[in-house]
Chains A and B, each alone.
Chain A
Amino acid sequence: MSYDAIIIGAGMSGLAAGIRLAMYGKKVVVLEKHTISGGLNSYYQRRIPSTKEIFQFDVGLHALTNFAKKGEKRKPLTKLLRQLRIGYDELELCEQTFSQIHFKSAKLNFSNDFELLQSEVKSIFPEEFDNFQKLYQYILEFNEVNLNADYLSAKKVLESYIATPLLREMLIAPLLIYGSAWENDMDFSQFVIMFKALYLEGFSRPRGGVRTILSLLENKFKEVGGELRYRSSVESIEYNESGVSGVVLKNGEKLESKKVFSSAGLPETMDMCQKDKRSIIGKLSFTETILVFDKKIKHSENEPTIIFYNDSDQYNYQRAQNFYDASSAVICFPDNYESQNKDGHGVARLTFMAHFDQWNNLEKPDYLTKKNEVLSESKRILKNLNVEQSEIYSDVFTPTTIKRYTNHFDGTVYGSTTKYRDGQTKIDGLYIIGTDQGFLGIVGSMLSGISISNLYGLME
């Protein structure tokens, strides 16, 4: 079989790229190893033993970042929906109530209205308010999408504006854990992208969770004539001096194309080309605890949607020293999006930073014991936040789960620390899309698939 383009991976970036190419008449196939789409943000279901009910879970999707109101101009979300010809209303977005950066000595709330964060900084760090406003101005004027910019440490820039270490740590923490492949610091361009995505634009969630996004993408891809193949794992990418010629699947089948767009990750893609990869594998992976309660969660104060929790005043964003690091967590209460159903069960999700190798080396019984430890640590933190309810179901997934279902080496979620911002590899016709092109998260990876396929698939 011969194609105009082959796309590896039916995650957000692969499907978005596929739609763009098929929409303009290219013969495209998306090859997915797994039996369903979604990749790092997929879904699964479980039967709850006590009640026999079937529950649908999202793998990730605490929050769709980059919230924009319908028709709002010049926003990444608006752009991406336009490019994919998906209507805003089809996403059925529910906005967050507010979210909270929760450190030992202070809390800062933010919402989809930036004024809340401004007023919080003003009341909690009054001496820093003018500095914060100056930083904000600098961010507005900064060109974060300049692909040729040199690395600039976000922490250094923050230091030059804000004197109080606690405020600096609090501001950068959510941006790191929602979008940095690097430990403890990030490139200032990425900081600006994330600052806008979280603080200026904010969070929402489709009423139907990640399935809504995925079925919109899958349906659109089929509608424009694309071919999507599941259980189709790419074993190797074929190329010679003149560039890419196609791929070979695990079952031996050969597919020809002069263009291959890979969302599998940079080291993973290099591996398919029999090139060295170890040195560039990223370090950040997570555990995720999902708790289902018998009824909606009662919060002592208000109802935050997401809490960026840290039990000290200094934030460590790095591979956990041990199996997992419960000194900080991202805690999501999906019920606290506006106009979500207010009856029925309550759900909480907690993410900890983790260490792949340690999980990977465990034998089954020890693995289960460790998972239980993560579960009790999660409950301990919820208790600290005064969330104590009877649970009817819980599940924990680990870096090895992520590896198994997405094939990302070491279960990395934010990919390699080497990013190919212009999407080009050293092999002609082989392009990197998604996480390792450099745009992270759900919105980021879709934009990545769109822009790289536009550039190399349509604009020749």
Chain B
Amino acid sequence: MSVDVKKIVLEIIEDVAPDEDLGGLNPAESLRDQLDLDSMDFLDIVMELRKRHKVEVPSEDYPRLATLDSCVEYLSPKFA
């Protein structure tokens, strides 16, 4: 069964930045431009991926988490 990576990422963002409205997010657009996320929040997204799903994201790969689409593309193989 395939994992819904998008849902996983959204769940994490919801916990890391509870005051953000995640409705109407454009998956192709930068998360940073649409939400008030800074580097501390991105660190938390990476830390939560490790804590909850044992998925490692090395720091050189952080840019690949820029949009929801790129998150899915980059993370899916790691969940396979």
With A and B bound together, what is the CA distance between A73 and B32 in angstroms?
12
Decide if A400 is an interface residue (CB 8 Å cutoff): no
A83 to B44, CA, bound (A): 8
- Determine if B36 and A459 form an interchain contact, defined as CB atoms under 8 angstroms apart: no
- A278: which B residues are within 8 A, CB to CB? none
- Give 10 closest A-B pairs by Cβ, nearest first: A73-B36, A71-B19, A24-B47, A83-B40, A454-B43, A74-B36, A24-B51, A82-B17, A458-B47, A25-B51
Q: Confirm or deny: B61 has a beta carbon within 8 angstroms of a beta carbon on chain A.
A: no
Q: B14: shortest Cβ distance to chain A, in Å?
A: 12
Is A450 in the interface zone, CB < 8 Å from B? yes
B58 → A minimal CB distance (Å): 11
Within 8 Å CB of B47, what residues of A? 24, 458
Measured CB to CB, the nearest residue on chain A to B50 is A24
CA distance A454 to B38 in the complex (A): 13
Which chain A residues border B41 with CB–CB below 8 Å? Answer: 82
Let me know if A458 and B43 touch, CB within 8 A.
yes
> Would A459 and B16 count as touching, CB distance under 8 A?
no
Contact pick for B38, options A70, A79, A88, CB 8 Å: A79
List 5 interface pairs A-B (beta carbons < 8 Å), by A numbering: A70-B19, A82-B18, A82-B19, A83-B44, A88-B19
With A25-B51, A459-B59: A454-B19 Cβ-Cβ less than 8 Å: no
Tier of interface size on chain B: 10 to 19
In the complex, given contacts A70-B19, A71-B19, what are 10 additional A-B residue pairs having Cβ atoms less than 8 angstroms apart? A24-B47, A74-B38, A79-B40, A82-B16, A82-B18, A83-B44, A87-B18, A88-B19, A454-B43, A459-B43
Shortest C-beta distance, B79 to chain A (Å), equals 20
CB within 8 Å: A-B pair count: 31
Question: Nearest residue in B to A88 (C-beta to C-beta)?
Answer: B19
Report B's interface with A, CB cutoff 8 A: 15-19, 36, 38, 40-41, 43-44, 47, 50-51, 59
With an 8 A cutoff between CB atoms, is A78 at the interface?
A: yes
Task: Determine if B43 and A78 form an interchain contact, defined as CB atoms under 8 angstroms apart.
Answer: no
| Chain A positions 421 through 456: 1 when the CB is less than 8 Å from some CB of chain B, otherwise 0 | 000000000000000000000000000001100100
- Within the complex, what minimum Cβ distance (angstroms) separates A218 from chain B? 21
- Complex-state Cα separation, A71 to B19, whole angstroms: 6
Q: In A111-163, which residues have CB < 8 Å from any B CB?
A: none
**B44 CB contacts on chain A under 8 angstroms:** 83
Residue of B nearest to A81 (CB): B19
B12 → chain A closest CB, angstroms: 13
Smallest CB separation, B23 vs chain A (Å): 15
Q: Collect the chain B residues with CB atoms within 8 Å of residue A83's CB.
A: 40, 44
A140 to B45, CA, bound (A): 29
- Which residues of B lie under 8 Å from residue A451 when comparing CB positions? 40
Query: Knowing A71-B19, A82-B16, A459-B59 touch, does A454 contact B40 (C-beta < 8 A)?
Result: yes
With a cutoff of 8 Å between Cβ atoms, the chain A residues found around residue B17 in the complex are 82
- B43 adjacent to A450 (CB under 8 Å): no
